[in-house]
Each structure stands twice: as C-alpha cells, then as structure tokens.
C-alpha cells in the first residue's frame, strides 16, 4: 500500500508541476466558456424564450429570460464537467507515456514493486486529480450562477453530481490508460490529446446540441459513454431550473427540448433511464479494464 501511495503521489506532483500540462488539459473547458459567453449563450437563451412564448401563451418575458439564462448556465456547467473528466485524465495519464519514452518506467519495473501497482498508481492519480478539478469547477460554476441571481442546487443534487463525476472520471481514466499503452512517444500522445481535446465537445454534444446533429451522427454518439455521462450531468444540473423555466408548459414540449439539448437520450423511441446510462458506462469501463489486463499480460509474455 505504501508503494501505491508513493507512486500515486509522485504522478500527481509531476502533473501539477507542469503548468503547461495543466493549462492544456483545461483548454477545452476554456474554449467552451468562450463559445458560450461570446457566441452561443445568448442564442440559446433567446431560443428558449421564443419557445416559451410560442407554446406558453402570455408569459413574463423577463422572468423567462432570467430562467433561460440560468438553464443555459447549468447546461454549460454539466458539459464542462464531462469535458474535464476526459481532458484532465488524459493529460495526467500522459505522465506514463513520458515515463516510458524517457525510460523512467523501466526503473520502476526494476524496483521491488509489481507492474500492477505501477499501473494502478497511474490510473488512481488520474482519478484523484480529475475528480478534484471537476469539484473545483463545480464550486466555481455554482458560485457564478448564484452571483448572477440563480438558485444553488440542493445538497442531494450536489451529492449526485459528485457521484456521476466519480463515475465519469474513473471510466475515462481507465480508457485513457488503455490508449496510452498503445502509444510509444510523447509527441504521439500530444497529437492524441489535441485530437481528443478538439472532439470531446462534439462527442458530448456540448458545442452543437443533439438536435442539430445529423441522425446518423447522433445515433453513433448514443453508443459512446461520453454522451451518456454528459446526459447524466445535465439531468441533475438542470433538473430544478428546467422545471422552473418550463412551468405550466406541455410535457411534450419539455421532452422535446430535453432530447434536443441532450439532457435526455432517446433510443428506439424510448427515453434512456438514468440507471441504464450508469450501467452502460460501468460496462464500458469494465471492458476497458479487461482490455488493459489482457494487453499488459501479453506484453509481459513478450518481454520474457
């Protein structure tokens, strides 16, 4: 246990000391904020206000606009949390690629510590840092919404956010470690990080809502754990403000909006349940972990 703790601590310190790594792991989050503040935020707010005016009859436009603003803010926060769960863990796992490329990994293997402990230390460090960054983002996001007049989430909702964040971070840490096992150089991993950082916002339907995507693309995204993770986050972040915003509106309108924005996922004309999304993500994580074990065992055999 001491060896695991020491290696995990070492991996975390290596990441935190590299300021450029920290910055680039949060770059996708910053891009999302810029897009929402400068380009997409006001457009999303106005589309909600227009929708409410079209189906809701005579309404208080100012109140609708304020509720819509807070809804978009919470929707954005949910997307950022999923983006961080992917990009931060990817960058932390990059420590393993750098260690392997610079032959530090061989030094660990020559020490009296098993390869399994070394692997778990890399994954555990990614989970801890990813979870920490997501929690800091949650606190900052909630403070921002409250500063702008929004209502803070309930304690139960915050606990669920922590739970969903842990699931997202854990699964993507294992997935990123699996990807890192197939990479031989730091430059190749940097290329992967750039590609993932660019695509993560699209794969999670953050940059472009689900309703604006072609049917074939949306069908593919529904088979990826990142969209299910984003849906879980949006469901709990937007639950209360969504109820306030669409008060007295027909259920069909609310359901259509949730599907359009990726708050809910519809497969085979059925809304995917929260339990299904959690199960699907856990199975994806187990599959990735099984692949890691198989890969490492084959590598051990080939090294003999």
φ/ψ of residue 239, rounded to 5: -55, -55
117: left (phi over 0), alpha (psi -120 to 50) or beta: alpha
58 or 94, higher pLDDT: 94
The pLDDT confidence band at residue 174, using thresholds 50, 70 and 90, is very high
**Two tokens at 87?**
């990009």
* Model pLDDT, residue 46: 86
If you average pLDDT over residues 37-51, what whole number do you get? 78
**Two tokens at 68?**
């819509």
- Whether the model pTM is above 0.75: yes
Nearest to 281 by CA among 236, 212, 230, 206: 230
* Model pLDDT, residue 304: 43
Q: Residue 302 above 60 pLDDT?
A: no
State how many domains the chain has: 1
* Model pLDDT, residue 160: 94
What's the whole-number average pLDDT of the chain? 86
Burial class of residue 173 in the structure, from the number of CB atoms within 10 Å of its CB (0-12 exposed, 13-18 middle, 19+ buried): buried
pLDDT tens string 132-161: 999 999 998 888 888 888 888 899 999 999
The pLDDT confidence band at residue 53, using thresholds 50, 70 and 90, is confident
203 and 235 in contact (C-beta within 8 Å)?
no
Please work out, in degrees rounded to the nearest 5, the angle formed at the alpha carbon of residue 107 by the alpha carbons of 18 and 92: 30
DSSP 264: S
pLDDT tens string 249-271: 888 989 999 999 999 999 988 99
* Model pLDDT, residue 109: 66
Q: Which domain holds residue 142?
A: 2-303
pLDDT tens string 65-107: 888 989 998 999 999 999 999 999 999 998 888 888 777 766 6
Partner residues linked to 266 by β-bridges: 271
If you average pLDDT over residues 18-37, what whole number do you get? 77
Q: Residue 242 above 70 pLDDT?
A: yes
pLDDT tens string 99-128: 887 777 666 666 677 778 888 899 999 999
Using the CB atoms, write b or e for 239-267: b if 16+ within 10 Å. ebbbeebbeebeeeebebbbbbbbbbbee
């Amino acid at each position: 246990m001491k060896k695991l703790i020491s290696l995990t601590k070492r991996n975390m310190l290596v990441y935190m000391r590299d300021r450029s790594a920290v910055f680039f792991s949060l770059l996708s989050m910053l891009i999302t904020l810029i897009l929402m503040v400068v380009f997409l935020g006001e457009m999303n707010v106005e589309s909600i206000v227009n929708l409410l005016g079209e189906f809701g009859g005579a309404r208080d436009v100012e109140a609708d606009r304020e509720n819509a603003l807070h809804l978009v803010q919470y929707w954005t926060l949910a997307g950022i949390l999923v983006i961080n769960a992917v990009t931060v863990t990817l960058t932390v796992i990059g420590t393993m690629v750098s260690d392997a490329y610079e032959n530090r990994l061989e030094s660990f293997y020559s020490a009296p510590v098993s390869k399994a402990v070394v692997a778990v230390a890399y994954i555990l460090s990614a989970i801890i840092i990813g979870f920490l960054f997501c929690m800091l983002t949650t606190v900052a996001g909630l403070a921002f919404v409250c500063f702008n007049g929004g209502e803070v989430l309930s304690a139960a909702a915050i606990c669920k956010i922590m739970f969903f964040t842990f699931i997202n971070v854990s699964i993507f840490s294992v997935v990123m470690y699996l990807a890192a096992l197939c990479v031989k150089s730091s430059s190749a991993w940097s290329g992967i990080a750039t590609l993932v950082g660019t695509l993560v916002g699209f794969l999670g339907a953050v940059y472009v809502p689900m309703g604006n995507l072609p049917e074939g693309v949306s069908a593919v995204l529904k088979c990826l754990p990142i969209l299910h993770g984003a849906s879980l986050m949006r469901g709990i972040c937007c639950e209360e403000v969504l109820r306030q915003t669409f008060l007295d509106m027909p259920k069909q309108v609310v359901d259509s909006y949730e599907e359009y924005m990726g708050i809910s996922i519809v497969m085979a004309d059925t809304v995917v349940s929260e339990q299904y999304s959690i199960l699907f993500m856990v199975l994806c994580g187990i599959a990735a972990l099984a692949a890691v074990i198989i890969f490492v065992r084959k590598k051990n055999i080939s090294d003999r």
